[in-house]
Structure 1
Amino acid sequence: MKTTPATQAGNPPRLRSALLAALTGVMALVFAFAFTGCESAEPYTPIPAEAYSARPAGTLNAGDVIRVSYPGAPELNTVQKIEANGKVSLPTIGSVTAQGKSVASLQSQLTGLYQSHLQNPTVLVAVETAASGVYVSGEVVKPGKIALDRPMTAFEAIMEAGGFTKFANPKQVVVVRNVNGKHQRYALNLSDTLSGASSSAFYLRPYDTIYVKQSRW
């Protein structure tokens, strides 16, 4: 077939357009592959079964602030910070070790110690401020430390931090935990919790760090 000048002039632009389209498609695939590869490469640890069960608030630690109340002698009520040596100084009985004990066990011990000092020896202990806590960062309204003074889930800690920002991705929440000197990373999807769907609660441990990732859309 004889090639006309018009055909010769028309082929190169069409060829360039086809090549450009093909190149664009290849680049898009390359970027998509690289992006997906980066996401899947993140080393997450399988969530242990114990994370789905609540534990008691735990034992008292140095730095915790406790309120000690005496129903039979309210004039003795006191607020004490557990010292670095693990002790508190209480009316009449003096220094008592609090560190390492649960609130219930300390209450029981104190009630026994006050048997010979008070007509009503009942003693009540409550944690005012817990020294241990968890840290919430990323796309939350108020990043920072949250006191872990009760069994708390990752979702509850995020709500304590003001909740998710409008840029947050509730499907991508990471909990970092120190286990025997090594950092373990657990990936959580909290979108079901937000929507009201049934989901397992992830319970936090002292000094966990929660990071809420940003949505890409």
Structure 2
Amino acid sequence: MKSTPQTQRPAAGWQRLFRGMTNALAATMAVLLAASFTGCEGPENFTPIPAEAYSPRPSGTLAAGDVLNISFPGAPELNTTQKVQANGKVSLPTIGSVTAQGKSISSLQSQLTGMYTSHLQNPAVLVAVETAASGVYVTGEVMKPGKVPLDRPMTVVEAIGECGGFTKFANPKQVVVVRNQGGKNQRYALNLADTFSGANDSAFYLRPFDTVLVKQSRW
């Protein structure tokens, strides 16, 4: 016996409903796929990079919390490791407390050599930073994210190198430096692909407590 039109209508209705749901699902997936490529973030606000960012900070300026290795080539028994105290001073054999905070390594060495002239036949003093109190923080698509001691003038490229370099997912064209100035965060956008290609030979120098964010590539 042949099916009547009445017995076919319910099946046809379900088919139309299923096709409608499928089309709606496909449309939703298309929107989500497009969003994954274009990104759903709004435009970011970046601060124009000031000229001073391309100059290194004063070389080797010491700060409270820095740990120093102080050695005496002519009297190794006096060698010592000292942490710069909150008052900016270190305590040394024979001469007592000396202010280290705010001085460069070379100026502190010269001062100590002069102070030990009357105490040692060879008054030479060598100062090296074992652990720097200040540092920068590198995060995002680098091999070893974390804090990098800022014990010397350091560029963004050098800081990323200290963290093992970029991961395979990194986008060198999208590197952001966040810097707190006057209680406000300033955001600087860097294109390091231009740096590596030689299109831009300006080196961006970091300051204490900067944060470097390496963004992920979007395919």
TM over 0.5: yes
Which residue in 2 is equivalent to 1:8? none
Equivalent of residue 165 in structure 1, options 164, 167, 183: 167
Equivalent of residue 201 in structure 2, options 196, 199, 204: 199
1:52-91 matches, within 5 Å, as: 52-91=54-93
Which residue in 1 is equivalent to 2:136? 134
Counterpart-to-counterpart distance in 1, 2:60 and 2:80: 22
Which residue in 1 is equivalent to 2:145? 143
Which residue in 2 is equivalent to 1:156? 158
Counterpart-to-counterpart distance in 2, 1:164 and 1:176: 18
How far has the Cα of 1:85 moved from its partner?
Answer: 2.2
Counterpart-to-counterpart distance in 1, 2:65 and 2:113: 23
How far has the Cα of 1:84 moved from its partner?
Answer: 2.0
Provide the secondary structure at the position in 1 that maps to 2:44: coil
How far has the Cα of 1:42 moved from its partner?
Answer: 0.9
Which residue in 2 is equivalent to 1:5? none
How far has the Cα of 1:145 moved from its partner?
Answer: 0.1
Equivalent of residue 46 in structure 1, options 40, 43, 48: 48
Counterpart-to-counterpart distance in 2, 1:141 and 1:194: 18
Provide the secondary structure at the position in 2 that maps to 1:145: strand
Which residue in 2 is equivalent to 1:4? none
Bigger shift: 66-75 or 144-153? Answer: 66-75
How far has the Cα of 1:196 moved from its partner?
Answer: 4.9
Counterpart-to-counterpart distance in 1, 2:203 and 2:61: 22
1:202-213 matches, within 5 Å, as: 202-213=204-215
Which residue in 1 is equivalent to 2:15? none
Which residue in 2 is equivalent to 1:13? none
How far has the Cα of 1:195 moved from its partner?
Answer: 3.5
Counterpart-to-counterpart distance in 1, 2:108 and 2:159: 27
Which residue in 2 is equivalent to 1:100? 102
Equivalent of residue 182 in structure 1, options 164, 180, 184: 184
For residues 190-217 of structure 1, give each alpha carbon's deviation from its aligned partner in whole angstroms, at most 9, with x where no partner exists. 0123345552111111111000011111
In structure 2, give the amino acid aligned to 1:72.
Answer: G
Counterpart-to-counterpart distance in 1, 2:81 and 2:109: 14
Aligned CA distance change for structure 1 residues 172 and 160 (closer, same or farther; 3 Å): same
Counterpart-to-counterpart distance in 2, 1:214 and 1:123: 47
Which residue in 1 is equivalent to 2:20? none
Bigger shift: 68-77 or 178-187? Answer: 68-77
Unaligned stretches of 5+ in structure 1? 1-19
Counterpart-to-counterpart distance in 1, 2:180 and 2:97: 33
1:108-123 matches, within 5 Å, as: 108-123=110-125
CA RMSD of aligned residues (A): 2.1
For residues 85-106 of structure 1, give each alpha carbon's deviation from its aligned partner in whole angstroms, at most 9, with x where no partner exists. 2211111111212112111221
Unaligned stretches of 5+ in structure 2? 1-22
Identity of aligned residues (%): 76
How far has the Cα of 1:37 moved from its partner?
Answer: 9.1
How far has the Cα of 1:57 moved from its partner?
Answer: 2.9
